[in-house]
Amino acid sequence: MADNIEKVKCLIIGSGPAGYTAAIYAARANMAPILYQGMQPGGQLTTTNEVENYPGYPDGITGPEMMIELQKQSERFGTDVRDGWVTKVDFSGPVHKVWVNETTEIHCDTVIISTGATAKYLGLPSEQKYLNLGGGVSACAVCDGFFYRNQEVVLVGAGDSAAEEAHYLSKLCKKVTMLVRRDAFRASKIMEARVRNTENIEILFNTETDEVLGDGQVVTGVRAKNKVTGEKFDIPATGFFVAIGHKPNTDIFKDYLELDETGYIIKTPGTAKTNVEGVFVSGDAADHVYRQAITAAGTGCMAALDAERYLASKEVHEENEVA
């Protein structure tokens, strides 16, 4: 055991809308929260160039700017925001033990997990280039589709999420070209039928992405490859959407928390409670359906309120035992 163990009332693991909102509520409830930002301070929104669908920003705001404002707001109420990431946990006993950067040991009365999820990408250099430039590569049609109104876009994916995002984009865009690597969808029959029956969605089976084309600043098209014939051809497009899934950042919790088959943390419906008392979850680490900043913030609020009530009930129980 470490000689200098830090004891805290509320530890928040991860930043982003969920973590910072949890911190705001926890700090205002005098829980003295400590928040570790993780490997991607600010979460996925730091890779989003423009946020226009979060209430309170009539002119829009960039993702990084929004995260800076949320961090300042949490710090205003006394949140201790720290660099570093959690590398190990032990939720087996009455004390929740957490290790940061493999060295610092913290004992927590409550833990709020806001580690989010990471979008899966193809890994092509050209894809990553335009993703980092904010010039036309996205893993969230609901977030970014609005910017491609009346334009032509390409979407990669074959599951229910891909079909749903393609259908969503079809309502905004002139044309949506779906690239499906195999000769069939993985999506449910009803979702497959929906995209097949949408006039401005073209589906190309046995087709994969060879390169994302651009002018050095923004996407101008996609070079695709037919896996059967080997033929390569260019598709004009201003947007390239990747819908091949997300991976929740929950690996370090798998020995203690109930996870679904994909790795999302399972919580008690209508709450932020996990299967371990005093450990709560918010944001995309438990949400594979909505994955929006506003829903993440809402669950951050829920987690902090649940943590506050847990501590209050624990204090009452301890007082009764003493009496």
Q: Which residues are catalytic?
A: 140, 143-144
Return d(Cα 299, Cα 306) in angstroms, integer.
10
Q: How many Cβ atoms are within 10 Å of 184's Cβ, its own excluded?
A: 10
Which of 156-171 are b and which e, b meaning 16 or more Cβ less than 10 Å from the residue's Cβ? bbbbbbbbbbbbbbbe
Tokens describing residue 162: 């891909």
Query: CA 193, CA 272: separation in Å to the nearest integer?
Result: 35
The count of other CB atoms within 10 Å of the CB of residue 94 is 6
| Strand order across the beta sheet in which 219-226 lies | 207-214, 219-226, 232-236
Which tokens belong to 195?
């995209």
Q: How far apart are CA 297 and CA 132, in angstroms?
A: 25
User: Do residues 224 and 138 lie in contact, with contact meaning Cβ atoms separated by under 8 Å?
Assistant: no
Q: What are the residues whose beta carbons fall under 8 Å from the beta carbon of 117, sequence distance 6 or more? A: 44, 246, 247, 248, 249, 264, 284, 285, 288, 291
Residue 80's CB: how many other CB atoms inside 10 A? 16
**Cα–Cα dist 106/34, whole Å:** 10
Number of Cβ within 10 Å of residue 283's Cβ equals: 34
